[in-house]
Structure 1
Amino acid sequence: MPTNAEMAQKFITALPHARELGMTLTELGDGYAEMALPYDARLVGDPATGVIHGGAVSTVMDTCCGTAVMSHPDARGVTATIDLRIDYMRAATPGQTVVARATCVHITRNVAFVTATAVDDDTDSPVARASGSFTVGANA
């Protein structure tokens, strides 16, 4: 039987949107995940500045949070987002990779609670912060 971490890794590589956006899973632990979203001109939201669209940032954060849930030792199978709040702190620097780091801070029988931060190469200041709840269970 595969471990939760193995299931999470397989899940990420199977997601079409993760492949299309070039997202990669860079670190995975018990209830923790880190994912990278490389800069891509196709994801620019403001052509005048070259800033990546907030939707791309939210996508990597949401996917990273779900991966953190799946990798938690008490998780059972896949997950789905119930609620996700993202606070954008600043624009991501054009040309830089956005890295999302998510931690499953609490898990119950049916719901997992996650926090996340997105940074770019200018890591002194976060691009965004998130908190959310996710389903727990094989039939999420």
Structure 2
Amino acid sequence: MTDDIQSRLDSIAPLIVDGSPHAVALGLSLISLTPGHAVMGARYDESLIGDPDAGTLHGGVVTALLDHACGMAAFAGFGAHDTPATLDLRIDCLRPAKPGLDVTAEASCLKSHGLVAFVRATAHDGDIDDPVAIAQAAFMITKASKAAQEKARRLYTEGRMS
């Protein structure tokens, strides 16, 4: 069963970021996607600095990264069939990301049952034991999330999304 899920995850991987204009605009990248787990990255970019004096990434970039990674972990936790929507997202910002460093988010689906999945994630800039932020989230399969998934697949198949 895991191989089947991994095959689905591998086939959908091109849409993970390209299917989200927000993720594309922020330069988010998918590092790995396995059953119940996702690792994504946000490259340090001067256009995404939130505090010009400190040179740190804007907290919104870290928030978007955590939300996206959690969503991918939920998707993988659901068996890679349906794309979920964020139902609840709590983020605790522990410190600013260090200037010049990329941020990585590592997310795990703790449980998925029926239409809801529960996820936990950590964002760090190189040392997972010194997190930038941590998140806990719930995701749900909805009619709207299914419609968005189908639209992204159609656009990708038609070559209108690279």
Output aligned runs, 1:23-42, within 5 Å: 23-42=28-47
Q: Is residue 44–residue 100 contact of structure 2 (8 Å, CA) maintained in 1?
A: yes
Q: Calculate the TM-score normalised by the size of structure 2.
A: 0.79
| Unaligned residue ranges in structure 2 (runs of 5+) | 146-162
| Aligned residue-pair number | 140
Q: Is 1:57 aligned to residue 87 of structure 2?
A: no
Residue from 52, 77, 96 that aligns with 1:47: 52
Q: Is residue 44–residue 52 contact of structure 1 (8 Å, CA) maintained in 2?
A: yes
Q: Is residue 4–residue 73 contact of structure 1 (8 Å, CA) maintained in 2?
A: no
Q: Is 1:104 aligned to residue 94 of structure 2?
A: no
Structure 2 CA distance for aligned equivalents of residues 129 and 75 of structure 1: 24
Q: Is residue 76–residue 136 contact of structure 1 (8 Å, CA) maintained in 2?
A: no
Structure 1 CA distance for aligned equivalents of residues 117 and 13 of structure 2: 15
- Structure showing greater radius of gyration is 2
Output aligned runs, 1:127-138, within 5 Å: 127-136=132-141
Structure 2 CA distance for aligned equivalents of residues 77 and 71 of structure 1: 9
Instruction: Return the letter of the residue paired with 1:80.
Output: A
- Root-mean-square deviation (Å): 2.0
In the TM superposition, structure 1's runs of 4+ consecutive aligned residues that sit over 4 Å from their partners are none
For residues 92-125 of structure 1, what are the alpha-carbon distances to aligned partners after superposition, in whole Å with 9 as ceiling and x for unaligned? 0010000001011000101100000000024441
The CA deviation at 1:74 is 3.5
The CA deviation at 1:75 is 5.1
| Unaligned residue ranges in structure 1 (runs of 5+) | none
Instruction: Return the letter of the residue paired with 2:119.
Output: V
Q: Is 1:95 aligned to residue 100 of structure 2?
A: yes
Partner SS for 1:90 = coil
The CA deviation at 1:12 is 2.4
The CA deviation at 1:19 is 1.3
Instruction: Return the letter of the residue paired with 1:133.
Output: A
Q: Of the two structures, which has the highest relative contact order with CA contacts closer than 8 Å and spacing of 6 or more?
A: 1
Structure 1 CA distance for aligned equivalents of residues 13 and 28 of structure 2: 14
Structure 1 CA distance for aligned equivalents of residues 140 and 58 of structure 2: 27
